[in-house]
C-alpha cells in the first residue's frame, strides 16, 4: 500500500508521540563531559580564571589605594574579575573551536611538563623502546663469514662457473 505525499510515515509519527510523552532520547555525546556554563567555559575553568582574576584585581586595587588614598578603588576587586571572566570565556571559546573535549587542557599540561613546571602524566618517549631485561640467548647468527672465504654461489644464479658441464 502506497503512502500519499503529505502523510507522515509511521516511524516518524511514533517518534513524535514518544517525544511528546517525555520519552525523548538522551544526548549521549556529552555524558562524560563537564557542561558549559558561560560561552563554552566549564565551571572548573570559570573557578580557576575567576580566582586568578580576583587575585590580579586585588593587587591592582591595592596599588590604586596606595597611590591615591581612596578606599573606593577597592570596588575594582568586585567588577574587574567579572570583566576578565567574560573576555576569557570568549578567548577560550575561540581556542576550543573545532578541537576535541579536553584538548587545550592536555596541551597546557604538556607545555608545563616540557618546561619542568610539573611532572608529565603522558608518555613522551621519542626513540626505541627496550624490554628492560636481557634475553638468555643471543639474536646474532651463529654462522660467521670471514673475508678470506669466497662467497657461496646460489644454484639459481647464472654465473659462468655454474654453467660448466659435469665431467662425470
Q: What is the mean pLDDT of each run of 10 residues along the chain (168 residues)?
A: 61 61 61 82 90 94 90 88 94 87 84 89 78 70 67 58 54
Element (H, E) at 59: helix 43-68
Place of cell 570565556: 89
Evaluate whether 41 touches 88 at the Cβ level (below 8 Å): yes
What's the pLDDT at 42?
Answer: 86
Is residue 58 classed as helix, strand or coil in its secondary structure?
helix
**Predicted pLDDT of residue 97:** 86
As a whole number of angstroms, the distance between CA 38 and CA 92 comes to: 10
DSSP codes joined into one string, 24-48: PPP-GGGTTSPPEEETTEEHHHHHH
- Residue 60 has what pLDDT? 92
pLDDT at 80: 92
Q: What is the pTM of this model?
A: 0.52
The span from the CA of 23 to the CA of 26, in Å, is 9
pLDDT for the residue 61: 92
In angstroms, the CA 38 to CA 163 distance is 86
Give the domain ranges of the chain.
Answer: 34-120
d(CA 82, CA 50): 8
* Angstrom distance (rounded) from CA 142 to CA 84: 71
Q: Which three cell numbers stand for residue 4?
A: 500519499
pLDDT score, position 105: 81
From 96, 82, 83, select the one nearest 40 (Cα to Cα).
96
Amino acid at each position: 500500500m502506497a503512502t500519499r505525499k503529505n502523510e507522515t510515515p509511521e516511524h516518524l509519527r511514533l517518534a513524535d508521540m514518544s517525544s511528546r510523552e517525555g520519552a525523548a532520547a538522551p544526548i549521549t555525546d556529552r555524558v562524560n563531559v563537564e557542561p558549559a556554563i558561560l560561552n563554552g567555559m566549564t565551571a572548573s575553568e570559570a573557578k580557576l580564571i575567576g580566582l586568578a582574576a580576583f587575585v590580579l584585581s586585588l593587587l591592582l586595587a591595592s596599588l590604586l589605594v596606595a597611590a591615591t588614598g581612596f578606599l573606593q578603588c577597592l570596588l575594582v576587586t568586585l567588577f574587574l574579575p567579572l570583566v576578565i571572566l567574560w573576555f576569557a570565556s570568549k578567548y577560550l571559546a575561540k581556542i576550543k573551536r573545532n578541537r576535541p573535549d579536553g584538548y587545550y587542557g592536555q596541551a597546557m599540561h604538556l607545555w608545563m611538563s616540557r618546561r619542568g613546571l610539573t611532572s608529565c602524566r603522558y608518555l613522551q618517549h621519542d626513540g626505541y623502546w627496550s624490554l628492560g631485561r636481557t634475553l638468555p640467548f643471543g639474536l646474532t647468527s651463529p654462522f660467521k663469514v670471514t673475508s678470506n672465504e669466497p662467497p657461496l654461489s646460489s644454484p639459481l644464479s647464472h654465473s659462468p662457473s655454474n654453467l660448466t658441464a659435469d665431467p662425470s
